[in-house]
Structure 1
Amino acid sequence: MITEHETIDVFIGVDVGKSNHHAVALNRAGKKLLDKALPQDEAKLKTLIRSLAKHGKLLFVVDQPATIGALPVAVAQAQGIAVAYLPGLAMRRAADLHPGEAKTDARDAYIIATAARTLPQTLRPIAIPEEQVAELSMLCGFDDDLAKQATATSNRIRGLLTQIHPALERVIGAHLEHAAMAELLVKYPTPAALRRAGEVRIGALMRKHAPRAWNRWAKDITAALAAQTVVVSGTEAAGIVLPELARMLIHTRAARAAVLVRIEELVVAHPLHLLLDSMPGVGIRTQARILTEVVGKDFASPGHLASYAGLAPVTWRSGTSIRGDHASRKGNKILKRALFLSAFASLKCKDPSSRIYYDRKRSEGKKHNQALIALARRRCNVLFAMLRDGVLYQVPEATAA
């Protein structure tokens, strides 16, 4: 919510687009001062803001603060005016309050401006991000894309191996996350090529990448090859596709490792690194996501933080027939995933408090995911207190005793 809403004289609603935006400006009485399309251009945006500045204090509201809306937001912030955005769900609900079902840029911009003028509680402020956090946000997004690409490529390799040689897939697919298996498929992509190479050559290649397991894996691959003598249709084509997929997997993993190096540099250099690093189960990637999604935002309570992350349970009550709680499907999904995986990782940490809490929830009849969500919600309380007070994580006294 914009705290200085009562001092605003002009409300500018901007429906952002890839190449063109549409802006509508309303004064406090609701009179339309501007209704026009404008290109994705810095000079035009500055001219728009300056032309409206004569009417008083401005509030610049967009429906998308990132990607295609990044330039309008940056220009408005550079001009020193208040900037906010209207979340998508609030936008749709506000649209239902207006007559008609048309979907146009002009109508959407008018809805945004009207919501900014009459529904200040629906707005979310946009703070100027630190350069460090902004860089982290971009790198983490790229890291997520690389992770999805690596998973898709791995699944495609497993699918092809299952089609042409299921026994071989059971060996290679089980260890495909290791670099040795991808390198093996680059050089020997088909069962016939692996048979010609023999156990000695397979072992020699794998020894470079898996010095501990190469001998066992080479024997397992040789045994799997002997389990199937027929050649399945499509094996020759798979010999063309598999090495390309393996190269893609190697390249993607190398790119992800390089990105992680830069992410780690930025996280370690941040003032909150030592604080976040003290919490069990919070690694570099989780720290980066906490910095990009939490730092710089105001949360009134641990419950507010949990609700923002989509970890707070939603209560259903209607008469005597509908009663119960269920997990929220809203919230910041990026933060929710990071905190969920962090809670899972904390189960194996030296501090047993997470495991004790998880086991208690399991004994209450909760399923694995439900218990993890409950644990992540509990850890939100701890994270909130650490960020609020600037203190390192401390093992609970009862657990320590």
Structure 2
Amino acid sequence: MAICIGIDAAKVVHWAVGIDGAGGVVLDRAVENNPAAIDAFISDLRALKGDVVIGIDVVGSFARFIEASLLAEGFALVHTPGIAVNRAGQGFAGGERKSDPRDARTIAELVRTRDLRPVLADDDTRVALRLKVGRRRDLMQDQVRRIARIRGLLCGIHPGLEQAFDLCCKGPLALLTRYVTPAEIRRAGQARIVAHLKKTPHLHGGATLARRALDCAGTQTIIVPGEAATAELIRELAAEALEARQKIARIEKDLEGILSDHPDAALIRSLPGMGVVLTAEFLAAIGNIGRFSSADALAAAAGLAPVQRQSGKRAGWRRAYGGDKVLKRVFYQSAFCAVTQKDPLSKAFYDRKRREGKHHTQALIALARRRVNVLWTMLQRREVFDPKRNAA
């Protein structure tokens, strides 16, 4: 008889509930997040009569220790996504009530009644990938907000300069670390601006950038109230943006080194559109391809499989709104890259979908879904992408 365990993971105290095949509770207890308490919990699991399957709502993060402990002891571990737990909990008596024991019981019921994806043991390479990818994502999100803030401030005091430059590039940011207002740029002149830009490593085209900045400064003579304070804040944000660019570049270099040790990286990167960052994000998101029994399962996890909509006499399909957003973005972005880089097969598929009447986004989603099949097959067969094969 199978015993289904649900664990509601937390930073300090996990809660575990076990039920048997008939739904009767056989275990209900708190588990502190420390080695001694988890060892005692494992002993209790060993004492249960039957095959134990454990569901957990958090993978990695603060649940990494208990996850690793259970996998090391040979227990079968499956993942119950938090959104599934929340929605399933509303179907039980009490509806909106929320507590750790209640969530753990809901997880146990999902393990008993649903076919959930397994959680497999990670090695050092996968953990390093996941940490580096997460750190890069945080830096990129902060950088987007920072650049938007610089644009808003600069547009208020020197709109011509904001419109003339792409502030995502290194050169304009280097300029803004010192020269912001029209008066500052005019006083500095061409030679001083170029000399300042030369202090930034690997920056080319400083003379052209300086001339464009002087042209913008020459068209504005008005001094905006609060200009000096705004310029000081822009200089600070621009310096932070340059530093963030360096950190992101170092992480991407580290990712390339980590991928060289991953057995699947070379296979994935052979698919057009899958560069270093997208390959790392894909591997960090899936963990182990063995978690997905088919390409359809992988597409469903990414939210790229169509969803049936049927009610009465009406029936149809619609695009899925759920799924792993990171995984969906990886496939969508790689499809976009393959099309823009003029990969013949991807471009031909995209053009065919456009001729069928699909708009740009629909055609890219269809291409992303097709690439799921290709990538899953490559990993199963351990073969690099071959554009000459008919299946491609």
TM-score (norm 1): 0.89
| Structure 1 match to 2:98 | 103
Residue 343 of structure 1: how far off its partner (Å):
0.7
CA distance in 2, matches of 1:21, 1:181: 50
| Structure 2 match to 1:243 | 235
| Structure 1 match to 2:142 | 149
Q: Aligned to 1:265, what secondary structure does the other structure show?
A: helix
Q: Which runs of 5+ in 2 are unaligned?
A: none
Aligned match for 1:79, one of 73, 80, 84: 73
| Structure 2 match to 1:114 | 109
Q: Aligned to 2:305, what secondary structure does the other structure show?
A: coil
CA distance in 1, matches of 2:300, 2:237: 41
Aligned match for 1:215, one of 168, 193, 207: 207
Q: Which moved more, 1:286-295 or 1:141-150?
A: 286-295
Aligned match for 1:191, one of 176, 179, 182: 182
| Cα shift readout 1:222-245 (whole Å, capped 9, x = no counterpart) | 111111111112211112211110
Aligned match for 1:168, one of 161, 164, 176: 161
| Structure 1 match to 2:254 | 262
Q: Aligned to 1:328, what secondary structure does the other structure show?
A: coil
Aligned match for 2:169, one of 178, 197, 201: 178
Aligned match for 1:205, one of 188, 192, 196: 196
Say whether 1:137 aligns with 2:126: no
Amino acid across the alignment from 1:43 = A
CA distance in 2, matches of 1:365, 1:28: 51
Residue 27 of structure 1: how far off its partner (Å):
3.6
For the 8 Å contact 1:184–1:206, the answer to whether it is kept is: yes
CA distance in 2, matches of 1:366, 1:29: 49
Say whether 1:159 aligns with 2:139: no
The 3 A distance-change label for structure 1 pair 183 and 212 is: closer
CA distance in 1, matches of 2:348, 2:331: 18
Aligned match for 1:59, one of 41, 53, 57: 53
Q: Aligned to 2:104, what secondary structure does the other structure show?
A: helix
Amino acid across the alignment from 1:33 = V
| Cα shift readout 1:54-104 (whole Å, capped 9, x = no counterpart) | 223433322212223222212212222222222224323432342113211
The 3 A distance-change label for structure 1 pair 85 and 382 is: closer
CA distance in 2, matches of 1:331, 1:211: 41
Q: Aligned to 1:250, what secondary structure does the other structure show?
A: helix
Amino acid across the alignment from 1:42 = P
For the 8 Å contact 2:117–2:291, the answer to whether it is kept is: no
The 3 A distance-change label for structure 1 pair 214 and 260 is: same
Residue 311 of structure 1: how far off its partner (Å):
1.4
CA distance in 1, matches of 2:269, 2:198: 35
CA distance in 1, matches of 2:355, 2:44: 65
The 3 A distance-change label for structure 1 pair 58 and 314 is: closer
How do residues 368-379 of structure 1 correspond to structure 2 at under 5 angstroms? 368-379=360-371
Percent identity among equivalent residues? 35
CA distance in 2, matches of 1:212, 1:93: 54
For the 8 Å contact 1:189–1:243, the answer to whether it is kept is: yes
The 3 A distance-change label for structure 1 pair 54 and 318 is: closer
| Structure 1 match to 2:381 | 389
Say whether 1:289 aligns with 2:284: no
| Structure 2 match to 1:344 | 336
| Structure 2 match to 1:3 | none
Over aligned residue pairs, what C-alpha RMSD do you find? 2.3
Say whether 1:16 aligns with 2:4: no
Q: Aligned to 1:58, what secondary structure does the other structure show?
A: strand
Q: Which moved more, 1:279-288 or 1:379-388?
A: 379-388
Amino acid across the alignment from 2:106 = I
Aligned match for 1:312, one of 302, 305, 316: 305
Say whether 1:355 aligns with 2:347: yes
For the 8 Å contact 1:351–1:395, the answer to whether it is kept is: no
Residue 399 of structure 1: how far off its partner (Å):
12
The 3 A distance-change label for structure 1 pair 326 and 59 is: closer
Aligned match for 1:50, one of 37, 43, 64: 43
CA distance in 2, matches of 1:398, 1:270: 28
| Cα shift readout 1:243-282 (whole Å, capped 9, x = no counterpart) | 1101110111111111111111111222223222221111
CA distance in 2, matches of 1:47, 1:306: 39
The 3 A distance-change label for structure 1 pair 354 and 31 is: closer
Amino acid across the alignment from 2:125 = Q
Q: Which runs of 5+ in 1 are unaligned?
A: 1-6
Q: Aligned to 1:230, what secondary structure does the other structure show?
A: coil
For the 8 Å contact 1:22–1:37, the answer to whether it is kept is: yes
The 3 A distance-change label for structure 1 pair 323 and 27 is: closer
Q: State the number of aligned residues.
A: 388
Residue 369 of structure 1: how far off its partner (Å):
1.4
For the 8 Å contact 1:182–1:246, the answer to whether it is kept is: yes
Q: Aligned to 2:263, what secondary structure does the other structure show?
A: coil
Aligned match for 1:91, one of 78, 85, 106: 85
Say whether 1:41 aligns with 2:34: yes
CA distance in 2, matches of 1:47, 1:55: 13
